[in-house]
Chains A and B, each alone.
Chain A
C-alpha cells in the first residue's frame, strides 16, 4: 500500500499526527457527552466511571493519552520548525515527540493502575 516515497520517518510522523488528531476529534464528542451526564444523570456518570476499573478500559485510556501527547508534541515540533530557526534534526525531534508521549501516557497508566 505504501509507495516508496512514503517510507521515511518524517512521513510517518505526518501520518501519526493526522491519525491522532482524527482519533481525538472522534473521541471528544463522546467525552463531552459523558461529562455532561453530571448535570442530569449522575448515576449514569458513576456507571461510566466504574468501567474505568476494567483493565482494557485503562489500556484504551492509555491509548487516548498517547494520542493526545503525540499530537501535541508533534504539533509543537511543527510549530518550532515554522517559527523558530530551522533545525536539521527533525527526525530526532519526531522520535523525541513519540517518546515523550509514551512517557506521559505511561505515567498516567501507572497512576491509574496503582491508585485508581
Chain B
C-alpha cells in the first residue's frame, strides 16, 4: 500500500532524524545532569535560534515519519482502508506537527 513516494519520504525523514536523535539524547543526558526545573531548562533554551531550528526540523520529520508509519500499521494490522486510512494518517501528521511546534515555541520562544 506504500508507493515509491511515501517510501522515499519515510527514508528521507529517518535519515535526517538520525543525527537529530543522537543530538537529542546527548542533550537529555546533559539536561539531566545540569538541572531539570522549568526555569533551568528555559534558561538554556529560551530565545535560542539554534534550538528552535534544531527542534523545528525534528518536529517536521517526526510528523512525516510517524504519520507514514502509523498509516502502514493501520492498514496491515487494523485493516483500515480508503478515507478512514487517510483520516488517521493526516490526524497523526497534524497532531504531531501541531503539538510539536507548540512545544518548540513554548520552550524556545521569547520570554
Residues in chain A within 8 A of chain B (CB atoms): 18, 21-22, 24-25, 28-29, 31-33, 35-40, 42, 45-46, 49, 52, 65, 68-69, 72, 75-76, 79, 82, 104, 107-108, 111-112, 115-116
In the complex, the answer to whether B38 meets A28 with C-beta atoms within 8 Å is no
Interface string of B8-35 (1 = CB under 8 A from A): 0001001101100100010011001100
Prevailing SS type, chain B contact patch: helix
Q: Which residue of A lies closest to B66 (CB)?
A: A25
Interface residues on B, range: 20 to 34
- Which of A25, A65, A116 makes the CB contact (< 8 A) with B36? A116
Kindly report which residue of chain A lies nearest to residue B39, judged by CB atoms: A42
Q: Is the CB of B32 within 8 A of A108?
A: yes
- Determine whether B62 belongs to the interface, using a CB cutoff of 8 Å to chain A: yes
User: Distance (Å) between the CB of A63 and the closest chain B CB?
Assistant: 14
Assess whether B42 is in contact with A68, with CB atoms less than 8 Å apart.
Answer: no
Question: Shortest beta-carbon distance, B102 to chain A, in Å?
Answer: 5
Q: CA of A24 to CA of B69 in the docked complex: distance in angstroms?
A: 11
**A contacts with B: majority SS:** helix
- Tell me which residues across on chain A come within 8 A of B29, comparing CB atoms: 107-108, 111
Q: Does B105 contact A (CB under 8 A)?
A: yes
Smallest Cβ-Cβ distance to B63: which chain A residue = A28
27 contacts between A and B (CB under 8 A): A18-B73, A21-B66, A22-B70, A22-B73, A24-B66, A25-B92, A32-B100, A35-B103, A37-B106, A38-B38, A39-B105, A39-B106, A49-B36, A52-B36, A68-B25, A75-B14, A75-B18, A79-B15, A104-B25, A108-B25, A108-B28, A108-B32, A111-B29, A111-B32, A115-B32, A115-B33, A116-B32
